[in-house]
Structure 1
Amino acid sequence: MLIYTPICKSFITYSGLNSYMMRICILFFIITQYHSVIAQQAVPLPAEIKKVVDDYIQKGNESEKIKEYNQASFYFHQAGNICWTHGLLENAIDLLKKSLEMTGRLSNLNGTSVLCTKIGLLYAETKNFENSLTYFLKSLDMARRMNRKSEIISSLLNIANSYNEIEKYNESVPFLVEAETLSKDIGDTKYLRNCYSLMTRVYDKVGDREKSTQYFNLFAAITKKIQQEEVSKKEDEARLMVDKANSKVLEVESIKNATEQELKEKKIELNEKQINLDKVEQISREQQMQIDLLNKEKELQKAIIHQQRLMRNVYLGIIITVLLISGLTYFGYEKIKKSNVLLNSKNIEISFQKDEIVKQAEDLRELNALKDKIFSIISHDLRSPLFSLIGMLNLAKDGYFSIEEQNQILSELSKNVEYNTELLENLLKWASSQMMDSSINSVCFDIHDIVRNKVNLYEKTAAQKGIKLENKVNVNTEVLADRDMIEVVMRNLITNAIKFSKEGDVVVISSKSQEGIITTCVADNGMGIPGEAIEKLFGKHVFSTRGTLNEKGTGLGLILCRDFIQLNGGRIWVESELYKGSKFFFTLPAKQII
């Protein structure tokens, strides 16, 4: 933990301290602190260091924009440390404050404590002790909340130092007393020495010479104790090194003795080998005579073997001829066998192709039927309302209707126009989905926003039927899909729910997330769907029924929903009970978190 100690002022001015040792200690501390301050004076940043700082700041700003506050805090912290190292104190304060802002958004107590301490030290270096007190007090609060006694002591000492700098000596006393108590609790003599040093100075400044002398004696005693402990530690380390050296000498001597013993054994072994070699030479002369005899026998054996080889070659020729004939016969058999396998494979492939052609023909018939139904819708459901609209407008233009009748007719015409608009939009979306080169534009978006927009759009229409719309989709429910397609799906499901609900009913849109899948539900407590009709809803044939107020439908909406959900890697289904309502579900992949 960092502790602020200003030059010279951290030592007392007590006139009775004229010992030679104390003068040496004070002189050494002044020299080291002077060089420390000189090293931290502001100098222009070298080009390569400035580039590093600018890079950290840029990365910090980018991380802040995408709400990566932990990374942003790290980059600003690094940039601030570099500026501090090179004496740019004001820049360092600004950057560390920015890092503190990012850390505060993460509720990171430890990071907040460290940054408050550093900012306090920087303000102390710039002689702005009022601000340094503010940040040291914040650091103390963080340390207390984390119950870290060492950091509490450091913060207490920093606060006491700052009060001393602004000559509020009495206000520093409670902090020093608490620091002394905690230092004793954890047995940290170095913290205790700092406490006694500051207390000596405080009581000297307020004119209490007795307490100043008392704390200086404690300071001198504990300093001596620390020095003795350090000397003892050095002696223990030196003793350990001597023990290791002695152990190494004993190890080398042991290796030397083992080597000498091994050499003696090798010498004995060589003598034994020389004796054995003499014996072997004697045996070799005897064996040479036997070898000559064996050579004679070997020549005789060669003649016998030559004759046997001739007979073997004859037999091998006969065997090879037989094997060659057998191989040719087997090769012919395998060739016929492979031809049969190839023929069977071709037959199976032809059979598969036939099944595929039959399936394609069936799909084509279904598409033709769907096309005929679409043309029927266009020619009847689209043309008839338009002709009716034209006729009504002509009659109204000629003055055949009263004002009351015109208002009633305008209401009917509005419904016809809304129906035609929905029909045209569904027809266009269906035609687009049937194009061979259609593709999806997958993006990450919040499905809550789409539901909110659709609820706002159809809230008035639902209210006219006495129906309430509720959006219970959680905010930030992000999915990966084609946004335009999902808007069409949500529009059709919500308008269907309104269409088949009665006065007093509620349409609820909700969602849940499980294992990377977002499941969305559009539920109503309206008419419900008969069991035999459920199977037709998502089929390849257009199926439509009238709503609770005899509203017409195109039958294309749910077909579009099925196609669009499948294109986006999901599935759609319905759960319904007659006269109790229906629930339409569809799934989409959730946004992948990196």
Structure 2
Amino acid sequence: MYKTVDSLDRLARAYYGINADSAFLCGRRALELAEKAGYRKGEAESWRMLGNTYEMVGDYLNMLTCYQHSLDIAEQIDNTTLIAKVKVNFALFYKQQEEYDKAHQLIEQVQRLYQRSGDSVQEAYVANNLADIALRQGQYDQALQYAQRALQVARRMMDAPTIATFNNDVGRILTAKGDYTGALSHLLESLAYYQGRKERLGTTATKSLVSQVYLQLKNYPRALQYANEALQEARAIRRKPEIQESARVLAHIYEAKGDYRNALHFFKLYKDYSDSLFNDQSRKEILSRAAQYDYEKQAMRLREAQAMKDAGYERELRKAALQIAVTVGALIVLSLIAFILMRSRAVNRRMNQLLREKNEKIEEQKEALEQQAVQLLLNNQQKDKLFSIVAHDLRGPLNSLKGLMDFLKEKKLSEQEIGAMMNELRRNVDYSSELVGNLLYWASSQLNGMVVKPVLLELNEVVPEVLALFAHQAREKGVLLRMEMAPLLVGFADKDMVQLVIRNLVSNAIKFCRSGGIVTVNGCRKAAEIELVVADTGVGMREDALEKIRRRESFTSYGTAKEKGTGLGILLCHDFAEANKGRFFVESEWGRGSHCYFTIPAAPSSSSMSV
């Protein structure tokens, strides 16, 4: 009977990623036989295989239930190997939920279990999981060290399935680091193994990874070939995470090719599967279920410990029963006396307490009204000052234009004088255009409220588009524009707002640079944020100007070529960064240039879970 159960569990594992119905049939039959025979180890493994199959079809609530049954039985029979395997399954779930601290704690527990048993193959799996956590957190070098260590152990043990799995992980990390040739070498080796063994899940996942590498290499025909094959195979095995990932890759490929109709189609497919996998309500329910399991296990341990303490306390209580009875009698007499004395005082104390509470509420309301009045006054003063600056700065260019037209009409200027005045007028018009644009954005946010429409934002495309707008202005002033962006930077923010922030910061940087200066736009991912930095080698700012920026006060300043600014653009940078759940701040040193930082949330990522 035991051998039959083990065989059925192996069959359930073999059907994982190929046929969910067959995997369920084998797992449930194995559990039924194991329970009938009292085969506890077989029960634990059958529950785990059922959990893996529920994960395969995206039913995470039932998955957690099965894993918890498996862990409970494994701990009861003290089977170290099974305990470690189930904890790895839980860790994979927490990784997918981006609960990296919990996942890391579980993997460290598993590592200690395998170190005691001396199982080097399983230690390799531990290193592989640590590599995946580091990759998700953007720690690519550390991730690559863990993954290569795991792959070396697998090659030394000549474990072909494990080698294929670890090759995929090394390929994903090398892709993230931009080593596409190295990534293809590992991924194609893995793909050859899965195709040779006709393992559909491994083939599907690997083809999706290969298509992403070809996309980065701009080999769109090969990228489309592998991505379409991955999508077809994912649909055939009803694997939702792989369908979602394949749709996302196809959307990016068609977008890169300029085929926006197909790109939109696959983005919609990607979104539909994303919503079905983890909408807000289901994610809360799943995390709540996981927290409930932790609570119940802890509560059971506390109850057991308390029961042992209660047995000792009961003996002591019996010995002290007489003393307690005497003490209670004395307390009753004293309580009656105290009650009579305290009753009269309680009435007075209650009245005093009511008066104090009323006075405190009146004082709190007074302070709140005073704070609101002060804040309103400050806001009105700031707006009055801003409108005064805007009115003055718009009047100057208009008067200059009127004067030039009068001179032209009377034909009192030479061509040389007209040329000089036209250059000056053009600078005024450029300034006025920038001022009016910022003013319209600011007025809209003040009058209609801040309306944010976040989308997936390819910053490696947005930043070059903005820099192209300033190419002529920078060349005319002799300023070099540079871009140093990490690859594949995808944020989640309002595109118009992000473009306006970058335009204002680049415009200011050029304005305060001398001829020969450099303006650099840097971009990188830090944890769950994308950080963009606009740095310049210009004149920098004094501490009083930095303090005004921190207080969000508008102020007039002049560039190295007498270009004028009101400070309205910096106010918008503050407001728009915070509206998109990011931050904005400035670092500068007089005479040494400035660094303007702003952050936006990184785009959410997803990946499938392992068996």
Scaled by the length of structure 2, the TM-score of the pair is 0.44
**Structure with the greater alpha carbon radius of gyration:** 1
